[in-house]
Amino acid sequence: MNLLSIAGFTNLGYLLHSRDHEPVRTDMTGKTVVITGGTGGLGRACAEALAALGARTVVVGRDRQKLNVAAKEIEGEVATHEADLSLMADIRDLAERLGDEDRIDAIVNNVGVLLPERMETAEGLETTFATNLAGHFLLTNLLIPRLVESGSSRIVNVTSGGMYSERIKPGDLQFQRREYSGTAAYAHAKRGQVILTELWARRLEGSRVSVHAMHPGWANTPGVARSLPLFDKVMRPFLRTAQQGADTMVWLTAAPEPGARSGELWFDREVVPKHLLDRTRESESDRQELWDRLVTVTGSDLATLPAEER
């Protein structure tokens, strides 16, 4: 079975690919991990697994009731923070609150939305772009100094196989010049995430912070059921559990092996190509324009780290 075949994305693919996987047993005691969108689905499964390894797990979500449930039900040391991660002001406030943590050893950028119609946030940004790309960019840049201080840290970006269909269009990140499609906007933002993974890895080279992107396969989560109801109905028998989808998230965050690499895209603990089609390949100028436009939107940049911080 081809790793990136349609069958490979299913629960059958996971069972085949994971035959030789060892359970993650890393002792995470004393480590702190921030997980966005951690109240349900993949994020909740990831939070549960990392808390079971002993990590202080910081769950971020926008629904206080769901955060309270997560804090009560997840066994281990759990903290929660309420924030709407489509709003840059909320993200800046969240980063300030996270400054009270003694250390931050990893951030899992898991939160995401797929909307059927184009919507804008209260700050005037297209919502899918704001949540899935600009928000990740801002929060990660704001937390990178803490990650560098903590040493041997990880950034894990949760992407989607849909990104294989899209080439980044840095001049139209918010679908203002073309017809809006919810799946295209989602995939486009996820393509941007993969590019940022490489750009962060380049800027953080030598800092002991490794950056990874991962594709969870097709998982049975509330987000899929809500955003893609027909797909969910047809494919339900073949969808992965949230725990199966989150396996590589947990492995990239906690296992020692991924710390030796950076800037890669992973699927079922294997490095996979970032492009399957030539038409989706971006130029170096596209990459630089993406970064520059995100800096303009978020007001946050990350220069190459000086030698003394590496």
Overall CATH class of domain 12-300: alpha beta
* Burial status of residue 96 (CB atoms within 10 A of its CB: 0-12, 13-18, 19 or more): exposed
* Cα–Cα distance for residue pair 99/80, rounded to 1 Å: 14
Q: With bands split at pLDDT 50, 70 and 90, how would you rate the model's confidence at 106?
A: very high
**Closest Cα to residue 58, out of 45, 84, 83, 77?**
77
| Mean pLDDT computed over every residue of the chain | 94
Task: Count how many Cα atoms sit within 13 Å of the Cα of residue 271 in the half-sphere of its side chain.
Answer: 9
Check whether 305 has a pLDDT greater than 70.
Answer: no
* Cα–Cα distance for residue pair 170/166, rounded to 1 Å: 12
pLDDT at 309: 52
**Closest Cα to residue 189, out of 130, 140, 147?**
130
* Torsion angle of C-alpha atoms 105, 78, 156, 115, degrees rounded to 10: -150
- Provide mean pLDDT across the span 194-218: 96
Structure pTM?
Answer: 0.94
Q: Which two tokens stand for residue 170?
A: 């840095």
Long-range contact list for 180-183, CB < 8 A, 24+ apart? 180/117, 180/118, 182/114, 182/115, 182/116, 182/117, 182/128, 182/227, 183/114
Catalytic residue annotation: 186
Q: With bands split at pLDDT 50, 70 and 90, how would you rate the model's confidence at 308?
A: very low
Check whether 310 has a pLDDT greater than 50.
Answer: no
- Provide mean pLDDT across the span 186-210: 97
Check whether 137 has a pLDDT greater than 90.
Answer: yes
Within a 10 A sphere around the Cβ of 207, how many other Cβ atoms? 20
pLDDT digit string, tens, across residues 246-304 = 999 999 999 999 999 999 999 999 999 999 999 999 999 999 999 999 999 999 998 65
**Domain residue limits, the chain:** 12-300
- Provide mean pLDDT across the span 235-241: 88
pLDDT at 306: 44
- Among 81-90, 173-182, 188-197, 220-229, which is the least confidently predicted range? 220-229
* Cα–Cα distance for residue pair 189/195, rounded to 1 Å: 10
Phi-psi region of 234 (alpha: psi -120 to 50; beta: other; left: phi over 0): alpha
pLDDT at 85: 98
Check whether 4 has a pLDDT greater than 80.
Answer: no
The strand pair at 78-82 and 56-61 is best described as parallel
pLDDT at 234: 75
